[in-house]
Structure 1
């Protein structure tokens, strides 16, 4: 009888602890559902979920985002160790496509940016743009491998890329430990800039769809993870690093350039994206990555849901591709 009497309080204590734990979990879930719209009103007022990002708990670390010509959302990223980097075609059933170098070796690079234009899909990394046939990407089945058909060098780190109209843009991520070229250092109204974005003309006459020499350049701030042009004559930057809040920064490009920049034997227009051109800055949840303007909004990729960064457990972690449809972006001309 004494044993039974002792067991009753123990079970009661366990039951109370379980109720408290369940209550805390429910409060946390409620907090995660409601708080983001309070903390990041400028983002969530116009943002909606495009698609969940697959394989985050399997090690996939999202980086680049774009849409295929048929409107399918594509996201690329890298995997742990020496596993192949991949593209995921998002939809009801995600399709995972492994990447292979031109020589048949596994491509396990960072795959920091991705964009699609015409017959090609472009992936940026390590001062290069790697090129795939769009039809290979769209016809691949889950688990298939696609091979780059070529690549070309660019005068920056190629941390991200995007397309808009008849232009392809590729640029630098700069932070401590991520050095850029000496001629990318510029004095601006906001202090020193150390990163650049270069614009290339898309051309059906070129074998990889891009003209060989940049036609314009942009000086940008540190910690840029993505760059996109928008219909409202604005340039958008996705800026983030670690667990600090991200920012979407919009700058006006509807005026004369600020100078010229010497690049590959050419003098090209230079736009300095500083406070003199600033249009709007929006606070965004941590770890925003690549961005691209498509179909009336700005696609935004996030890496916060990756297992490497907590698997989405940390508050405000975004585990989906989002689309931000702010009026600040202007009316679509696509």
Structure 2
């Protein structure tokens, strides 16, 4: 009988797969040890609050926002399995509600879920060219699994990667990474402190007759560095940015806009907007945080941070408690 080569081939493949898995696990454990060393000040000061929803069901979180009146956290993101992108509510008692969103054209939302925030009676969710608005009361009353319909859409003159309503101002900004996520060269600005910032934030002031309660044009433009994933504003007016890319340690940077250099004006759709630089000259604090930090929000004097690393798409964060929201003081 001819000797079969099938079993040895299977055995060789199994050994190879085991070796690859062992190498991957060794890399993960090494990364876990390094994160706990480099992020030691963060873990010492931060409070582990509650689990991020949907991580074991394909959800990749991108942002969070606290609804004060409802005492509810909102989460936006996308589904790694290409299903419609959900939003989540996490209530004060720990109840988790999952919703899909119908866009104004009637299609299910399948976007990146880069940011979610709220102002007055509306909740805003980013789309590729701006954001859509949901009725806040309808969302608050919705049951788990109920689909929500967007009631309007606003375009903005940049591709939104993060968004937040803080101190009645709507901030919406873009993400830049060399090569993979370019921004227009007109957004690359030389800072007074010498470095070049490669992205912009537009800040819209309240306006009773403007789109969704905000002005037609930005009240201010901020020049910011690349790799920014989220923005919030502290009670004393400092602007906080979260920056991350890939598996490297992420950062939370605190800037003092009161000392931001006025750089003349920046032209946005024919309108001259005051321009300010968030650069080394206005940087007051940098905190190293675990990899894949995403959206941030300010609530009750604390900065809250979401992270995508413990999603099933990336897994890494499952080895260093990346599946939790953390809060920490600004300074």
TM above 0.5:
yes
> Residue in 1 aligned with 2:214?
210
> Residue in 2 aligned with 1:89?
89
Alignment of 1:47-86 (within 5 A): 47-68=46-67, 69-86=69-86
Q: 2:172 aligns with which of 170, 173, 188?
A: 170
Partner Cα distance (2:109, 2:122) in 1: 18
Question: Which deviates more, 201-210 or 91-100?
Answer: 201-210
Alignment of 1:260-279 (within 5 A): 260-279=265-284
Q: Report the number of matched residues.
A: 298
State the Cα distance separating 1:125 from its structure 2 match. Answer: 3.2
Question: Which deviates more, 218-227 or 75-84?
Answer: 75-84
State the Cα distance separating 1:179 from its structure 2 match. Answer: 1.5
> Structure 1 regions of 5+ residues with no counterpart?
1-24, 329-334
Residues 159-184 of structure 1: per-residue CA shift (max 9 Å, x gap)? 01011111010001000211112321
Q: 1:109 aligns with which of 111, 125, 150?
A: 111
Partner Cα distance (2:323, 2:279) in 1: 31
1:201 aligns with 2:178: no
Question: Which deviates more, 185-194 or 280-289?
Answer: 185-194
State the Cα distance separating 1:98 from its structure 2 match. Answer: 0.8
> Residue in 2 aligned with 1:125?
127
> Residue in 2 aligned with 1:15?
none
Q: Normalized against structure 2, the TM-score is what?
A: 0.84
1:287 aligns with 2:286: no
Partner Cα distance (1:274, 1:322) in 2: 26
1:207–1:258 Cα change, 3 Å? closer
Partner Cα distance (1:308, 1:36) in 2: 19
> Structure 2 regions of 5+ residues with no counterpart?
1-24
1:248 aligns with 2:252: yes
Partner Cα distance (1:118, 1:81) in 2: 33
Contact 1:225 1:289 in 2 (8 A): yes
> Residue in 1 aligned with 2:149?
147
Question: Which deviates more, 110-119 or 227-236?
Answer: 227-236
> Residue in 1 aligned with 2:187?
184
> Residue in 2 aligned with 1:223?
227
Structure 1 residue ranges, 4+ long, deviating more than 4 angstroms after superposition: 34-38
Contact 1:87 1:98 in 2 (8 A): yes
> Residue in 2 aligned with 1:332?
none
Partner Cα distance (1:41, 1:81) in 2: 34
> Residue in 1 aligned with 2:238?
234
Contact 1:115 1:122 in 2 (8 A): yes
Q: Normalized against structure 1, the TM-score is what?
A: 0.83
1:99 aligns with 2:101: yes
Residues 201-224 of structure 1: per-residue CA shift (max 9 Å, x gap)? 133444522222110011111100
State the Cα distance separating 1:82 from its structure 2 match. Answer: 3.8
Structure 2 SS opposite 1:312: helix
Contact 2:254 2:284 in 1 (8 A): yes
Partner Cα distance (1:203, 1:322) in 2: 34
Residues 306-330 of structure 1: per-residue CA shift (max 9 Å, x gap)? 10001633x435102222223x3xx
1:232–1:241 Cα change, 3 Å? same
Partner Cα distance (2:89, 2:269) in 1: 36
Question: Which deviates more, 253-262 or 284-293?
Answer: 253-262
